Structure 1
Amino acid sequence: MAAIDADMQDDDAVEAPPPARRRLAGKVLVLYIALPLLLLIGAGAGIYMSGIFGGAEEGPVAVKVVAPPVYYDMPDFLVNLSGPPPQHYLKMRVALQVRDKEAVAMVDGAMPRILDGFQTFLRELRPEDLEGSQGMLNLREELMRRIELATQEPVVKDVLFKEIIVQ
């Protein structure tokens, strides 16, 4: 019987490898085969998407030429502000950013109307109306509106303040 038990133990040892060897075989499969295969596939997809080996079509590249901005300097303004005494004055230098060089001629043609609109608006301001960034924003928007009323079309992109003094 001892001989039969010894034979059975030898058969079990030959048929089933130890569990440590099975785990090692799975790790070797993942580390040496699956992982490099995944890395190669990922690298190939990245190269293809970047356009090195095709993927991106080469064609004429459209270059957008941006014209330099055109500025128009307005004459200086010196107006007295409304309100109770003591009298306050506003000195202001403004530049207009116009859409193109042809718009300068339109601004020149409408200059008497623009100056009249600016003067009448500025004389109605109080010193409190010009306080803070919100006051400056409101002033810019109102001047833009008066320019558009004078020129009858939007030829001015922005009003740029060069100097503002309230005294």
Structure 2
Amino acid sequence: MADETAGGEDGEDAGAGGGKKKLILFGGIGLVAVLAIGGGAYFFLSGDSAPPPSADGTPAAQEVQKPVVFYDLPEMTVNLATDGRSTYLKVRIALEVEDKAMIAQIEPYLPRILDAFQIYLRELRPADLEGSAGLFRLKEELLRRINLSVYPAKVNGVLFKEILVQ
């Protein structure tokens, strides 16, 4: 009987030791989870979207967007470079400039701008205008050519108002 009681006590000690290990393990996992959730909540909820106030207590000046001016070019229709049947491109373009004074600088160069556009557009193939990537390349190339034509004036953007390939 002494052997049975000794064996029983060892079994209970082994069970209690395993329970303590499980308790510590689950407690540690729970603590890590609580810390992770708390850290995430602090990170996402404590961000202040307002700029810090300046020294005099007023909110810091936010970047003010300058109004832009758009200048419409005359509508252009050109035939594209094709082997077979004629394909035409009809395009209406607006130029984005900083102010009206820039338009006064650009207007004397309008014949040069239209000439540069006509020469470039006539060399395009219909495949060059397919998809948004093709139109983006066209826009960038026209912007580069117009800025070369009107230098030292500067055009900020070329905007397509209408594009028709027929």
Bin for the TM-score computed over the shorter chain? 0.5 to 0.7
**Could you tell me which residue of structure 1 aligns to residue 22 of structure 2?**
none
Distance 1:157 1:56 in 2: 32
**Could you tell me which residue of structure 1 aligns to residue 9 of structure 2?**
none
1:96 equivalenced with 2:95 (yes/no): yes
**Uncovered stretches (5+) of structure 1, i.e. residues with no partner:** 1-45, 47-54
Distance 1:145 1:56 in 2: 41
**Could you tell me which residue of structure 2 aligns to residue 21 of structure 1?**
none
Pair 164,59 (structure 1): closer, same or farther in 2 beyond 3 Å: same
Q: How does 1:1-167 map to 2 (within 5 A)?
A: 57-59=55-57, 62=61, 65-153=64-152, 155-167=154-166
C-alpha deviation, 1:106, in angstroms: 1.3
Distance 2:120 2:108 in 1: 20
Distance 1:56 1:141 in 2: 40
CA contact (8 A) 2:106 2:153 kept: no
- How high is the TM-score relative to the length of structure 1? 0.62
* Aligned residue type for 1:138: R
Q: Return the index of the structure with the highest Cα Rg.
A: 1
State the identity %.
50
C-alpha deviation, 1:154, in angstroms: 5.2
**Uncovered stretches (5+) of structure 2, i.e. residues with no partner:** 1-45, 47-52
CA contact (8 A) 2:90 2:164 kept: yes
